[in-house]
Amino acid sequence: MKFFIDTADIDQIRDLAGSGLVDGVTTNPSLVAKSGRNFLEVIEEICGIVDGPVSAEVAALDHATMLKEGRRLAQIAGNVCVKVPLTWDGLKTTRALADEGTPVNVTLCFSAAQAILAAKAGAAFVSPFVGRLDDIGHEGMDLIADIVEIFAAYPDTIDTEVLVASVRTPVHVIQAAKMGAHVATLPPAVLRQLALHPLTDKGLAAFVKDWEGTGQSIL
């Protein structure tokens, strides 16, 4: 499974990218707004830090303007992945950009039917939002299971990757990985949580204590 980080915080991206565990970045208008910076400048800077796909979302709602914005975003860097909403206009834009060779991340997916349409439109990624489904009493991971199963049934015709979004906890990540989802996009805090376990901390503390008792030094 690939890990993207879901943020527009340059410091966080630079720090986590240095771990070698980050395969890409996803952003959205809300995340960029929190940075207080110019949108295009932020995307360009992120693309210079991360080699993998960097999702940059259009702001328009109509196809014609979405397409213009998508083309403009694609000019920023070779690793920009244009993000569009899962609407009819978004799907039309996906098809047009994909035909031009621009990868597209179709976002705000909440049903398997929508995911099928995104794949048919040529999306590089489709982003089902598990946390937001959980918020309204649905089981978000059931949607991931459905989409993965459907896409796997058409290996010769569907290249779209399932990008699990609205991830809230490490449990979401583990469940998605077991289902065979291709990508999880994580808030920086959740990515860091994946490395944590109280028994690791306990064991390390014991090792450190025992080593200090030897009075030795490796260096």
Q: CB–CB of 190/165 below 8 Å?
A: no
Q: CB–CB of 25/5 below 8 Å?
A: yes
Indicate which residue of 2, 34, 68, 83 is catalytic. Answer: 83
Dist. CA 20–CA 18, nearest whole Å: 5
Dist. CA 167–CA 100, nearest whole Å: 31
178 labelled catalytic: no
Q: CB–CB of 108/128 below 8 Å?
A: no
Q: Kindly give the pairing relationship between strand 24-26 and strand 2-6.
A: parallel
* Residues recognised as catalytic: 83
